[in-house]
Amino acid sequence: MSRRFNEYEKQFIANSLIEQGKILFSKFGFQKTSILEITKNVGIAQGTFYKFFNSKEELYFVILEMEEEKIKEQFTNVDIFKENQPNKAIKSMLRQMIKTIETNPLIRELYFGSNMEKMLRKLPPEVLEKHFNNDATSLLSLIEKWKNEGIIVEVNPQIIAGILRSLFVLTLHQKEIGVEVYQETMDLFIDLTVDGLIKEE
pTM for this prediction? 0.76
Residues 190 and 148 in one domain: yes
Q: What is the pLDDT along the chain (201 residues), one digit of tens a residue?
A: 456 888 889 999 999 999 999 999 999 988 899 999 999 999 999 999 999 999 999 999 899 888 888 887 777 777 777 767 788 888 888 898 888 888 888 887 776 666 777 777 878 888 878 877 777 777 787 777 777 776 766 677 788 888 888 888 888 788 889 989 999 999 999 999 888 877 655
Q: Do 85 and 168 reside in the same domain of the chain?
A: yes
Range(s) of the domain holding residue 143:
55-200
Q: Say whether both 96 and 119 belong to one domain.
A: yes
CATH number at residue 48: 1.10.10.60
Tens of pLDDT, residues 33-76:
999 999 999 999 999 999 999 999 999 989 988 888 888 777 77
pLDDT for the residue numbered 1: 47
Based on the domain organization, do 125 and 168 belong to the same domain? yes
Domain termination residue (choose one: 53, 76, 93): 53
Q: Looking at the structure, do residues 112 and 34 belong to the same domain, yes or no?
A: no
CATH number for the domain spanning 172: value is 1.10.357.10
- 157 and 78 belong to one structural domain: yes
Output DSSP code: residue 153: E
Domain boundary among 10, 31, 53: 53
**34 and 91 share one domain:** no
Q: 119 and 146: one domain?
A: yes
End position of a domain, from candidates 10, 26, 53: 53
- Domain count for the chain: 2
Residues 6, 65: one domain? no
Same domain assignment for residues 48 and 87: no
pLDDT at position 167: 85
Sequence-distant (≥ 6) Cβ neighbours of residue 69 within 8 angstroms: none
Domain shared by 76 and 131, yes or no: yes
CA gap 138, 128 in Å, rounded: 15
86 and 47 within one domain: no
Count the neighbouring beta carbons within 10 Å of the beta carbon of residue 59: 23
pLDDT given for residue 145 in this prediction: 76
